[in-house]
Amino acid sequence: DFIILPGAIVRKSRKEHKIVITPPVRWILDNIQNKLNEKKYQKYKFVPWLFPSTKTKSKSLLDPEYVNTHGTRLKDTRGCWLAVMQDLGLEGAKKMLRKSFISMSKVVLKDSFKVMFLSGHTKEATIDIHYNKSTDDQQKEYANEVSDKVFNFNKN
């Protein structure tokens, strides 16, 4: 299964983007659905957006024309993001989460071409340039490997 983002809401490429519904994504979607089943959020069940706006007109929620407008969707996820980060005891920006996901995908898949399908990038070079990060331990390992192979002379 996929979450399909229409090109109209994808910022840079303006092309449709698909997000695979993995078990962790399914867990999050199920939690959102469970929230909508709580009594105080029942009125938002008819809103077609994943994150409905709390500033919707309650009396107009039965009007299908109003419910399908952009006025019923959450336009900024900053408050939601801050609440999630506070609950988890973490710091960071949404952009950091995306960049970390892409970097970890590159490590796990070991293939920039495959990562392109997950990240929505159109060029492998973008992934190779911007997501080719290494840890201090990796840098030490690389330096020692080069040192052993190139400069392996005896010191007396």
Instruction: Give residue-wise pLDDT tens across range 91-120.
Output: 888 888 888 889 899 989 999 999 998 988
Per-residue DSSP letter, 30 = H
Angle separating helix axes 94-109 and 112-119, nearest 10 degrees: 150
Q: What is the pLDDT of residue 34?
A: 92
Distances (CA, A) of 113 to 22, 120, 130, 148: 20, 11, 14, 32
Instruction: Give residue-wise pLDDT tens across range 140-156.
Output: 998 999 988 888 776 65
Instruction: Give residue-wise pLDDT tens across range 117-130.
Output: 898 888 999 998 88
Strands (E), the chain: 2-5, 17-20
CB 3 within 8 A of CB 21: yes
